[in-house]
Structure 1
């Protein structure tokens, strides 16, 4: 059974100021998601599942169905505010849904095979998809998951500091913890550092970070559902609290339930955090078209 690609596309982009998931970056208006899907199909994924808000269904179908028909199976998962499906009999007012791990849980009745989770607005590179398919088809088990680890210096923006999940990895190549560093940046000499309440700290340029590229089996749905209930219970008064995938990973690792293999990639990641990043992404994609990585008309 071929693995499924689950694309997190339910969040509207507050810092970016528009629905960047469907913004055009390629020579023919291709979105960043188009390149991810192209790489995923080539690597051997059998189905593309978009996690979206239900009100975006028609826009997403209008954009992606004509391109993908006959190439790969598609499916749509809705992330909503309704907690009843999780056995939580409460209505909690929020301005945005409950975060990335909640989005993954929304797919629990639709995904029945090993799967990979990615962000809609990030460019990951073919190498990551190829390595993840290899992992999901030969190594994944209900106690062995994975994430693709990017070199930190291949993930930063020239326009400001960014948040990165910095991975600590043991000698078996498994993640021991992921630390969210909220202010990571290039220094003038090209080295990498982060700031926290205690000051500035250096990071090795080849330190591995999580860019939200995870590999799971469907067992993770059961494993994280109870965690989600506890999270809602603890955070019902905090409208900004989000149930993130790294929180789930951390608990699974600490409880000994599952290990997470860190799959290294040398690919350059790029994404759109700031408006100023858009021309950079367009240039990066133009360069990939020019060097033959992608055809000029992706779906032509």
Structure 2
């Protein structure tokens, strides 16, 4: 069976100042996610599942989903702060205002995902070669396989001049992920790049391999994510900003000896919708790719 693309699109867009998941960037009002779905379909994915917030459903359908669904097997599910919590757990996080991060989002889609799957962010551009790579890997494994995968990018190709970015810095051994350390505030400083951790600035070279949340998992990974989520709830429900992060959970699979994560790489230069200033950059990048024939001017034919 063909793999599934799982798109995490329930983010709040606090730095962007709007619903960046469905902001138009193409010549015919296509969203960045149109291009991800288009690339995935042509690289061998059989279905796309979006994780969204209930409050954006109407706009999401009008600006993106209905168009994609006419061309691709598509479904969406909801993620909210209350998802996957019982009454007692909800009482412990009554002041929480946003969902619980990327592992939580993946688990919200568990019932909709029936084949090995890739995970992407809704606001990042990955490039068709990365989708092709993961489609090949996922098509070759069984649903209960412990052979997972990811595509890593060079840090210097994923930076933003508009502000700091969050990246998982990876260590790789013999072509497999060894660990990921989440760095939530990486930015340019003068001619260099620094990561701010616990108030200290740590210099980076820009040549580090980083995670852009582009992972490929068998269905067995859901077992690991449920265990991670259960442990997270025990310690973090009372914290207003704590999130269950997919790179951490993926790294835990390796650390606990429960599976491997094949480390593929991409030379693509990242662009994405993190800050308001990024919208024009993304529009210009897409326009250039259309101009050089990478994408057709009219993305979907119906």
TM-score by length of 2: 0.91
Q: Which residue of 1 aligns with 2:297?
A: 296
1:31 Cα deviation from its structure 2 partner = 0.7
Q: Which residue of 2 aligns with 1:68?
A: 68
CA distance in structure 1 between the partners assigned to 2:80 and 2:40 by the alignment = 26
Q: Which residue of 1 aligns with 2:157?
A: 154
> Which runs of no fewer than 5 residues in structure 2 stay unpaired?
none
Q: Which residue of 2 aligns with 1:15?
A: 15
1:104 Cα deviation from its structure 2 partner = 0.3
What does 1:101-250 correspond to in 2, within 5 Å?
101-139=103-141, 142-171=145-174, 173-186=175-188, 188-189=190-191, 192-196=193-197, 197-203=199-205, 205-250=206-251
1:142 Cα deviation from its structure 2 partner = 2.7
Task: Give the superposed CA RMSD.
Answer: 1.9
> Which runs of no fewer than 5 residues in structure 1 stay unpaired?
none
Judge conservation of contact 1:177–1:250 (CA < 8 Å) in 2. yes
The answer on 1:4 being equivalent to 2:4 is yes
1:87 Cα deviation from its structure 2 partner = 6.1
Task: Show CA shifts across 1:275-300 (max 9, x none).
Answer: 11111111111111111101112124
CA distance in structure 1 between the partners assigned to 2:29 and 2:246 by the alignment = 31
1:96 Cα deviation from its structure 2 partner = 0.3
Judge conservation of contact 1:88–1:229 (CA < 8 Å) in 2. no
TM-score by length of 1: 0.92
CA distance in structure 2 between the partners assigned to 1:10 and 1:281 by the alignment = 20
1:59 Cα deviation from its structure 2 partner = 2.5
1:199 Cα deviation from its structure 2 partner = 3.4
